[in-house]
Chain A
Amino acid sequence: MSDSAAWSPSPRELERRLLRRRLRLRSTLIAATALVVVFVGLALLIVTSPGWDRVREAFFNGFHAKASLPDIARAFWLNVKMFMIAEPLILVLALALAIARSARSPWLLPLRVAAVAYTDVIRGIPTILLILLLGFGMPGLRLQGVPNSPFFWATTALVISYSAYVAEVFRSGIESIHPSQLASAEALGLGRGQTMRFVVVPQAVRRVVPPLLNDFVSLQKDTALASTLGVFEAVFVARDYTNYNFNYTPYVVVALFFVALTIPLARFTDWLGRRYAERERAGAR
């Protein structure tokens, strides 16, 4: 074999590689140690605390977890129904509010004022109060043809409350569209309405998907507030069980239900964001 063909690294290069390998190994070791030390330390901190036995008995009791699970699962369906009904209504109402707020025609001033007043007032009222006011107040009026089920009024209150928040999200999306887009639309001969419909809103909505999903997650959890009206949803079922058996384990169970719902949604948001980004770049890297 000829010594010109077979290239072999110089001793210096070998030394470099060895050093790099050693450094890599060391940083892996450090990372692993740090991970173990911190989490084992935290676990020890909790487990060795004086009240741990009591807390484990009260919050992580296998028997009570199993006993409360079927009822919680059944009631959780009520939470799911509530936010599945509420979310589309919220999106529609909020977008309408946001568009109303960005209307510039002098004729539409009353609409703008109404939209501003709505978001200001509703966002100022704690959601739980809105639920109590609607849930106990509206059926009290005994209006003909208006349902008086607590589920209906809790869902309505959530729609009203959240549409005010989500309207602001949409508005920030609408206002984030660069003026050059509006100028381009005008140059193409689009009217204000058309510009909104074809240029501004589609881009704005894509841009605010992550905060929208954020509000959606928040909504899922706020369905628990319906319990104040006696809607027997998952958190209330857990509390009811807790009140009878003096054990808090069902709270942990119901928390796991909500987490199990939120994590896939977070991954879905990431995926959606990526897809929009790819589409906007139109294949460019």
Chain B
Amino acid sequence: MSLRGSVVTLPLLLPVLVGAAACAPSDESPTASDSSTGAASCAKADLPLLKSGTLTIGTDSPAYDPWFSNNDPTNGKGYESAVAYAVADQLGFSRDEVTWVKVPFNSSYKPGPKDFDFDINQISITPARAQVVDFSDGYYAASQAVIALKGTAGAEATSIDDLKGLRLGAQTGTTSLTAIRDVIQPDQDPAVFEDTNAAKQALQNDQVDAILADLPTAFYISAVEIPDSTIVGQFQPETGQQEEFGMLFEKGSGLVPCVDDALATLRSDGTLDDLEKKWLSDVVDVPTLQ
């Protein structure tokens, strides 16, 4: 009887399924397993890397100025590209041993193994984020800047209070948006944009009075991208301590202490300051909003 056959096969299905689970790819991530033993040595051969002999660095696309240049992270131009190559150099990697991968910001923190050794993408270090991923020490402390079109209501603001009545906007997931919500607390909910380009377009279309971004980005926007815009002012978000950008690693990555060491060296020998002056300069005369 055919029925009997199917009765017999059914219980067989369970072990098959469980077997499939057992055969599912297990965690082979070298970084996770090495984290306990790792950090013992930062010699190039001992580093827990995605691909040995190669430092794989992630960043979003487009890679915005002045953090990168010409949307090409491999050219070593722009602050983050330069810092990444300087760190790579400290770790013992030559330029052609560095590979860049495109990592959209919202996939950089997905669970599971990462497809980069670290991600450098103007990511602010926050306690909530640090529960999910690991961060290097900060390599840049960003203050927030307000950008408006010349001659509009936004450009007239001289204090944070003046901003309250305006239509403000910023990119999602940025500390600029947090600064609007927590520090400025405008009368109208801020406009949220998927990326800086959308924010810039909205500013030019008079859909918002002013947009917020970190100071170097703001400077680049007002100087190059929207010439008839101006930086109204800058301020430090007073909530919590200083906002810093850090490199993002898989949780428990053994690479973090080594990169931190490299950053410490670059900081003490003045390289970070030099790179900052080179790529993020000219922003000293921006008025501070109170």
Contacts and interface: CB of A to CB of B under 8 A. Distances in A.
Contacts of A58: 110-111, 132
A38 B20 CA distance: 13
Contacts of A245: 128-129, 132
Q: Is the interface of A mostly helix, strand, loop or mixed?
A: helix
Contact of B193 (A26, A50, A140, A230): A230
A285 interface: no
A55 B198 contact: no
A30 B7 CA distance: 7
Contacts of A239: 106, 172-173
Interface string B202-227: 10111100000000000000000000
Nearest to B126: A244
B109 interface: yes
A131 to B, nearest CB: 12
Contacts of B27: 50-51
Nearest to B11: A37
Nearest to B128: A245
B207 A243 contact: no
A52 to B, nearest CB: 9
Contact of A139 (B112, B128, B207): B207
A148 interface: yes
Interface string B155-188: 0000000000000010011000110000000000
B45 interface: no
Contacts of B14: 37, 40-41
A78 to B, nearest CB: 11
Contact of B112 (A40, A54, A240): A54
A26 B3 contact: yes
A148 B110 CA distance: 36
Pairs of residues from A and B, 7 with the lowest C-beta to C-beta distance, nearest first: A243-B173, A41-B17, A139-B205, A246-B132, A246-B109, A54-B111, A58-B111
Interface of A: 26-27, 30, 33-34, 37-38, 40-42, 44-45, 48-51, 54-55, 57-59, 136, 139-140, 142, 148-150, 227-230, 232, 236, 239-240, 242-248
